[in-house]
């Protein structure tokens, strides 16, 4: 009886069951990311399309300035959480460090793509996606530390953030080729922006995975060569 009870408890450590990772929640996170960011385009028929009347007018970039400052404040606020934890606790120290660095690592891509999109495509859509990024990023340390360790609970936030970065990047690539991605898609149906968002996120995952595999393979072989060389010497 006690053994059966211990097994049952062990299989339900998290609300989704045993294990830090759950594929169903990861898929749910992808859907959430696509729906949240895609809806921005669906609810506004002009969202995302190039608006030449706003280009070069500093008044139209006030919201982007607000998004940028809010992001910086959120990032530093997460860093200041280190002041209030028990630094001798390794788990708390790790959660605090990852909560800060995970957002800090993507600060340059996010801010750069945010402003490039705002200047060269549409500052309104850049600001809306920017606010989605900042608000969800605020909750990242809470999700990371909810169970005192990394779990799939962070993925709805992570995938929403990556979806923003992916769309901003892909739309700029199309713009560099003279194509207004959002405008072309909306000629058929605004709802197709959900598929565009999914495609951008998928491309992001494929591109980063391939690059990561190539780099890690090269590094692993390099370390193996070094170890073998050290043995010979």
Q: Which domains can be identified in the chain, with CATH numbers?
A: 53-179 (1.20.120.550)
Query: What does residue 17 show for φ and ψ, rounded to 5 degrees?
Result: 120, -160
> Are 32 and 159 spatial neighbours (Cβ–Cβ below 8 Å)?
yes
Residue with tokens 């370390």, as numbered in its chain: 223
**201: buried, middle or exposed (CB in 10 Å: 19+, 13-18, 0-12)?**
buried
Calpha distance 11→7 (Å, rounded): 6
Provide the token pair at 216.
């890690």
Provide the token pair at 74.
């959120």
Calpha distance 32→94 (Å, rounded): 27
So what's the pLDDT on residue 81? 84
* Chain centre to alpha carbon of residue 197: 13
Per-residue pLDDT 10s for the chain (233 aa) are: 444 444 444 555 899 988 999 999 999 999 999 999 999 998 875 555 555 445 556 777 888 999 999 999 998 888 888 889 898 999 998 888 887 778 788 999 999 999 999 988 888 899 999 999 999 999 999 999 999 999 999 999 999 999 999 999 999 999 999 999 998 998 899 999 999 999 999 999 999 999 999 999 999 999 999 999 988 87
So what's the pLDDT on residue 23? 96
> Are 91 and 149 spatial neighbours (Cβ–Cβ below 8 Å)?
yes
* pTM of the predicted structure, to 2 decimals: 0.88
Task: Quote helix, strand, coil % in the chain, to nearest 5.
Answer: 80, 0, 20
HSE toward the beta carbon, residue 52, CA cutoff 13 A: 1
**Residues 6+ away with beta carbon under 8 Å from 168:** 113, 114, 116, 117, 126, 129
For 179, the 3-state DSSP assignment is coil
């Amino acid at each position: 009886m006690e053994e059966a009870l211990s097994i049952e408890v062990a299989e339900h450590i998290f609300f989704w069951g045993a294990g830090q990772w759950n594929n169903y929640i990861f898929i749910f996170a992808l859907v959430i990311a696509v729906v949240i960011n895609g809806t921005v385009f669906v609810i506004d028929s002009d969202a995302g399309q190039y608006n030449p009347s706003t280009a070069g007018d500093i008044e139209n970039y006030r919201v982007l300035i607000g998004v940028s400052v809010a992001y910086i404040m959120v990032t530093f606020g997460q860093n200041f959480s280190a002041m209030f934890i028990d630094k001798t606790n390794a788990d708390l120290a790790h959660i605090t460090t990852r909560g800060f660095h995970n957002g800090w690592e993507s600060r340059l891509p996010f801010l750069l793509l945010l402003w490039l999109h705002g200047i060269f495509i549409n500052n309104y859509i850049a600001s809306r996606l920017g606010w989605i990024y900042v608000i969800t990023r605020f909750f990242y340390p809470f999700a990371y530390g909810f169970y005192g360790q990394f779990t799939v609970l962070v993925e709805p936030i992570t995938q929403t953030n990556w979806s923003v970065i992916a769309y901003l990047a892909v739309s700029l690539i199309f713009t560099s080729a003279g194509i207004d991605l959002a405008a072309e898609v909306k000629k058929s149906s605004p709802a197709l922006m959900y598929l565009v968002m999914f495609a951008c996120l998928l491309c992001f995952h494929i591109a980063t995975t391939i690059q990561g595999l190539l780099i890690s393979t090269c590094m692993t072989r390099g370390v193996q060569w070094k170890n073998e060389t050290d043995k010979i010497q």
